């Protein structure tokens, strides 16, 4: 009865599709128009990905910091390391550039050599005032050199802020308005206004300007993602169509397949728009991924149609068999692939959850499109001619199949030995894998903005903000002498850590006030003593309005202060040691009963997010393995078969993990995705092989060897075809400028090749070696889900 139901169901599906072909095509066209209209809702991300859930402790602390001081990542820096700047014409051009930038509505403040203010003691009354550092126009080199000497030697307040600690570079700080930092306005300002102004300056002076800062990095990184979407789609279509044509030697078959996957791509963009999800570095992979996964569906369907035509020449019967037989099998394989992606939904990471939702929906969608479009389009066409079927007789395919059969028949021990050796070597490699939480590691390293990041790391000792939030537990507690001394002690410690830049806080303003009190003698750039404290602190507070420093580093109640430093791109292990030592120093300097001190900032949030994500993805992968094991248990109703089927799919994952260790590829958000994606796809081959194997067992009265070799010959060719398409399809991602995308493409490609070999060699070898344990009617029960054999038709089945 199960057999009858399965055949009857899929026959009904086939009749429905072929009898309603015009209606289905109109429905697909209407759906495509609908999804195309959703494109306007697509949004490109304006922030770097937050890998932590919203209610995570680290996120809550970061949001508390933002509530006190607003968006931290609003600083863009323009740097120059060129002595030619200190000539009157170039210097004035640099000052004019800063002035022009400051005129834009998106900019709240610019801090540059041309508009620097210095704190000066009033001559005729008590207190300080802010006066221009450059009092008149620069007309001579002598005057300019005088200002340069004064800046580098008499104004330590601007060290690390305007000029580099080694006094070789200078920079302009551009503070964007905080309410536009995470909006499209920021992108438009940077791409349409800021960059053209910088280009004009470079053309006019011949001086190279290095530009960086989180808003700038985010904008250019997002633009790179946008640029690469089209490149990926074009490359995926080109590669898969060439491979498809090589296999089938048919322009008609190739065009039908390309149209099918292009509609799938249009739907994928539409689903992103419909769900109002942002296009991130991950969701940008979905459209080309649909091409890569969709083409194997087309291969199975078209290959089966051509085989049927070659066998009996009846078009109607061929199309019905294509839908009822291949539709059945591809449904299972697409469901398992979608399941692999759907497990990302369980990670509690918004970034990965959205990726999992959209990817799994689109995989099912491309299956339905393939199942509908290919049989319907062929039903309107003439029967394929002999030239369209010649590829079915290729000798090299026969040679490949014979080689596989010979290996399994004569060299099973060698297959097991090689597998065990690879497993042992891989385990050694796994122990050498490192974890990376670098926020910039996956960024395109050949781009100018990445080189500029390295420039600022070298010259100004870091670019990724790390914040320290200090709660004094009382109003106006920040400006107390004891608090300032503790903050200064912590800042001294931070300066001694080579990965950190010079920290900035209200302490710098207070030191500067004392220096100004002593006629700007740099030797007095220090905290005031007990006799000086009352006067200098009150005057420093009243003089801070023009600098924006007090407002930026002390909240309105005077209870909370922040210390901002920037950290270099640092290996995770070193970063964790730095963080541990810094927390210990904070605990020592700030008594917990009097102060609450919190570490936060983008650098820390991303580091913690990476570790959280890796932990959750391991759980996700484990769940994917369990889910697919349960699916195969439902399909085959045999626990022993579950174990046998999982081994050839787990070994490639371990081999890839070992390769990552030996090649120095770290575990990070992009590379950890490899395992779930590759497992979800590679298990498809196992399902195809085992389903065919079971059919052969029944047909051959449980003769093991005959059934294994028959299944190998039948499924080997299609598994080889699809694996080749997947290998080259995922290899397309290696043309990316993003390191994570390159690693993802290369590692998935390698894993799928190993998975193909494991399913074609190791799986049959296991079945033959364990035949007595697994291949009997009692152990290998009738499956819940029937896969039709080539000889079965609905009219051949009897009750």
pTM score, whole prediction: 0.75
Residue 305 confidence (pLDDT):
79
Do the domain assignments include residue 195?
no
β 75-80/170-176 pair status: antiparallel
pLDDT at 780 over 90: no
pLDDT at 129 over 60: yes
Q: How far is CA 689 from the centre of its chain?
A: 33
Could you tell me if 119 and 62 lie in one domain?
Answer: yes
Residue 126 confidence (pLDDT):
63
Q: Element (H or E) spanning 598, and its range?
A: strand 596-600
Could you tell me if 575 and 680 lie in one domain?
Answer: no
Residue 790 confidence (pLDDT):
44
Residue 784, token pair as written in the block? 């819940």
Q: Domain ends where: 573, 605, 637?
A: 605
Do the domain assignments include residue 203?
no
Residue 208 confidence (pLDDT):
92
pLDDT at 668 over 50: yes
Dihedral, CA of residue 140, residue 142, residue 143 and residue 144, to nearest 10: 80
Contacts of 117 (CB under 8 A, 6+ apart): 130, 131, 132, 133, 546, 547
- When mean pLDDT is compared over 437-441, 527-531, 585-589, 747-751, the highest value belongs to 585-589
Each residue's pLDDT tens digit, 23-82: 999 999 999 999 999 888 877 665 666 677 777 888 888 888 888 877 667 888 899 998
Angle at 566 between CA 561 and CA 570, to 5 degrees: 135
Do the domain assignments include residue 447?
no
Each residue's pLDDT tens digit, 472-483: 988 888 888 889
CATH classification at residue 304: 1.20.1640.10
Could you tell me if 313 and 357 lie in one domain?
Answer: yes
Could you tell me if 262 and 287 lie in one domain?
Answer: yes
Share of the chain above pLDDT 90, in %: 10
Residue 29 confidence (pLDDT):
93
Could you tell me if 544 and 647 lie in one domain?
Answer: no
Could you tell me if 615 and 546 lie in one domain?
Answer: no
Mean pLDDT of 1-26: 74
State the residue for tokens 């949004």: 43
Residue 386 confidence (pLDDT):
58
pLDDT at 493 over 90: yes
Could you tell me if 787 and 658 lie in one domain?
Answer: yes
pLDDT at 4 over 90: no
Helical H segments across 139-209, by residue range: 141-154, 184-188, 195-205
Residue 797 confidence (pLDDT):
36
**How far apart are alpha carbons 717 and 401 in whole angstroms?**
7
574, 581 Cβ separation under 8 angstroms: no
Q: Domain ends where: 571, 586, 605?
A: 605
Query: Residue 341's closest CA among 352, 332, 333, 327?
Result: 352
- When mean pLDDT is compared over 128-137, 182-191, 790-799, the highest value belongs to 182-191
| Phi, then psi, of 504 in degrees rounded to 5 | -120, 135
Residue 545 confidence (pLDDT):
47
Could you tell me if 786 and 643 lie in one domain?
Answer: yes
Query: Residue 324's closest CA among 308, 341, 336?
Result: 308
Query: Residue 85's closest CA among 211, 205, 212?
Result: 205
Mean pLDDT of 589-602: 89
What's the domain range around 780? 2-48+220-431+606-796
Confidence band of 363 (pLDDT split at 50, 70, 90): very high
Mean pLDDT of 118-145: 76
User: Which has the minimum average pLDDT: 46-55, 191-200, 382-391?
Assistant: 382-391
Specify the 3-state DSSP secondary structure of 554. strand
Do the domain assignments include residue 560?
yes
Mean pLDDT of 491-500: 90
Residue 1 confidence (pLDDT):
41
Residue 646, token pair as written in the block? 């999982």
Could you tell me if 338 and 424 lie in one domain?
Answer: yes
Residue 396 confidence (pLDDT):
64
- When mean pLDDT is compared over 321-335, 362-376, 694-708, the highest value belongs to 362-376
pLDDT at 402 over 50: yes
How many other CB atoms sit within 10 Å of the CB of residue 643? 13
Mean pLDDT of 129-136: 78
**How far apart are alpha carbons 318 and 309 in whole angstroms?**
6
**How far apart are alpha carbons 702 and 774 in whole angstroms?**
11
Could you tell me if 384 and 279 lie in one domain?
Answer: yes
Do the domain assignments include residue 198?
no
β 278-279/43-44 pair status: parallel
Q: Domain ends where: 578, 605, 632?
A: 605
**How far apart are alpha carbons 471 and 598 in whole angstroms?**
8
Residue 524 confidence (pLDDT):
86
The span from the first CA to the last CA of the chain, in angstroms, equals 7
Confidence band of 785 (pLDDT split at 50, 70, 90): very low
Q: Element (H or E) spanning 350, and its range?
A: helix 350-379
DSSP 134: S
Mean pLDDT of 217-245: 80
Could you tell me if 312 and 410 lie in one domain?
Answer: yes
309, 383 Cβ separation under 8 angstroms: yes
User: Which has the minimum average pLDDT: 2-16, 193-207, 519-533, 779-793?
Assistant: 779-793
pLDDT at 538 over 70: no
Share of the chain above pLDDT 70, in %: 87
For residues 625 and 636, the model is more confident at 625
Residue 638, token pair as written in the block? 């045999």
Angle at 53 between CA 48 and CA 55, to 5 degrees: 125
Do the domain assignments include residue 101?
no
Number of domains in the chain: 2
Could you tell me if 242 and 288 lie in one domain?
Answer: yes
Residue 509 confidence (pLDDT):
84
Do the domain assignments include residue 210?
no
Mean pLDDT of 672-686: 77
Do the domain assignments include residue 204?
no
- When mean pLDDT is compared over 24-33, 323-332, 390-399, 544-553, the highest value belongs to 24-33
Each residue's pLDDT tens digit, 199-210: 999 999 999 999
């Amino acid at each position: 009865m199960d057999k009858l139901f399965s055949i009857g169901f899929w026959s009904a599906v086939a009749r429905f599709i072929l009898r309603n072909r015009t209606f289905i095509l109109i429905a697909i066209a209407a759906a495509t128009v609908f999804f195309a209209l959703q494109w306007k809702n697509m949004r490109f991300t304006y922030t770097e990905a937050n890998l932590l859930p919203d209610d995570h402790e680290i996120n809550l602390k970061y949001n508390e910091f933002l509530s006190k001081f607003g968006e931290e990542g609003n600083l863009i820096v323009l740097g120059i390391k060129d002595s030619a700047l200190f000539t009157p014409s170039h210097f004035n051009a640099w000052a004019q550039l800063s002035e022009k930038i400051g005129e834009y509505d998106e900019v709240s403040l610019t801090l540059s050599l041309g508009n620097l203010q210095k704190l000066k003691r009033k001559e005729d009354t008590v207190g300080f005032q802010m006066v221009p550092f450059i009092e008149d126009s620069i007309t001579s080199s002598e005057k300019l050199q005088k200002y340069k000497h004064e800046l580098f030697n008499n104004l330590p307040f601007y060290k690390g802020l305007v000029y580099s600690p080694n006094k070789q570079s200078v920079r302009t700080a551009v503070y964007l308005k905080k309410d536009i930092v995470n909006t499209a306005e920021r992108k438009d300002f940077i791409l349409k206004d800021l960059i053209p102004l910088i280009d004009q300056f470079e053309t006019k002076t011949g001086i190279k300007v290095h530009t960086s800062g989180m808003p700038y990095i985010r904008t250019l990184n997002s633009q790179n993602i946008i640029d690469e979407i089209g490149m990926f789609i074009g490359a995926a279509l080109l590669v898969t169509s060439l491979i498809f044509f090589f296999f089938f030697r048919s322009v008609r078959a190739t065009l039908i397949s390309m149209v099918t996957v292009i509609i799938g791509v249009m739907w994928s963009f539409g689903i992103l728009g419909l769900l109002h999800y942002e296009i991130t570095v991950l969701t940008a992979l979905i459209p080309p991924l649909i091409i890569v996964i969709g083409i194997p569906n087309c291969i199975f369907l078209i290959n089966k149609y051509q085989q049927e035509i070659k066998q009996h020449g009846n078009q109607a019967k061929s199309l019905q068999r294509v839908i009822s037989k291949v539709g059945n099998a591809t449904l299972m394989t697409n469901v398992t692939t979608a399941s692999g992606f759907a497990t990302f939904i369980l990670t509690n990471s918004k970034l990965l959850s959205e990726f999992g939702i959209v990817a799994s929906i689109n995989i099912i969608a491309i299956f339905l499109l393939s199942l509908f479009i290919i049989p319907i389009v062929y039903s309107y066409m003439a029967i394929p001619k002999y030239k369209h079927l010649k590829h079915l007789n290729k000798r090299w395919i026969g040679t490949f199949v014979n080689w596989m059969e010979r290996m399994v028949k004569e060299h099973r021990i060698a297959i097991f030995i090689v597998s065990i050796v690879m497993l042992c070597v891989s385990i050694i490699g796994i122990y050498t894998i490192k974890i990376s939480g670098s926020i910039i590691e996956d960024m395109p390293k050949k781009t100018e903005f990445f080189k500029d990041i390295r420039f600022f790391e070298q010259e100004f000792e870091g670019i990724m903000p790390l914040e320290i939030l200090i709660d004094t537990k009382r109003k106006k507690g920040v400006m107390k002498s004891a608090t300032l001394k503790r903050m200064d002690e912590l800042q001294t410690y931070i300066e001694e850590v080579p990965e950190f830049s010079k920290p900035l806080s209200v302490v710098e303003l207070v030191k500067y006030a004392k220096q100004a009190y002593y006629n700007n003698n740099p030797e007095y750039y220090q905290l005031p003593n007990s006799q000086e404290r009352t006067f200098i602190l009150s005057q420093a507070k009243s003089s801070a309005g023009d600098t924006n420093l007090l407002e930026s580093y002390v909240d309105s109640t005077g209870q909370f202060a922040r210390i901002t430093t920037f950290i270099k791109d640092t290996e995770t292990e070193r970063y964790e040691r730095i963080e541990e030592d810094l927390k210990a120093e904070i605990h020592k300097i700030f008594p917990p009963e009097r102060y609450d001190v919190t570490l936060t900032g983008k650098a820390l949030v991303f580091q913690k997010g990476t570790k959280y994500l890796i932990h959750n993805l391991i759980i996700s992968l484990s769940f994917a393995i369990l889910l697919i094991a349960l699916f195969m248990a439902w399909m085959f109703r045999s626990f022993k078969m579950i174990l046998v089927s999982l081994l050839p799919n787990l070994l490639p994952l371990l081999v890839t993990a070992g390769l990552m260790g030996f090649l120095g590829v770290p575990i990070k958000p992009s590379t950890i995705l490899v395992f779930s994606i590759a497992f979800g796809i590679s298990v498809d081959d196992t399902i195809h092989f085992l389903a065919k194997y079971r059919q052969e067992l029944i047909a051959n009265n449980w003769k093991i060897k005959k059934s294994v070799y028959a299944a190998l010959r039948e499924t080997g060719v299609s598994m080889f075809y699809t694996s080749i398409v997947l290998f080259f399809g995922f290899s397309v991602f290696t043309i990316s400028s993003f390191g994570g995308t390159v690693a993802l493409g290369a590692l998935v490609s390698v894993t799928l090749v190993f998975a193909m070999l494991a399913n074609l060699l190791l799986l049959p070898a296991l079945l033959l070696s364990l035949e007595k344990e697994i291949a009997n009617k009692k152990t290998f029960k009738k499956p819940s889900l029937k896969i039709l054999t080539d000889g079965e038709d609905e009219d051949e089945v009897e009750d």
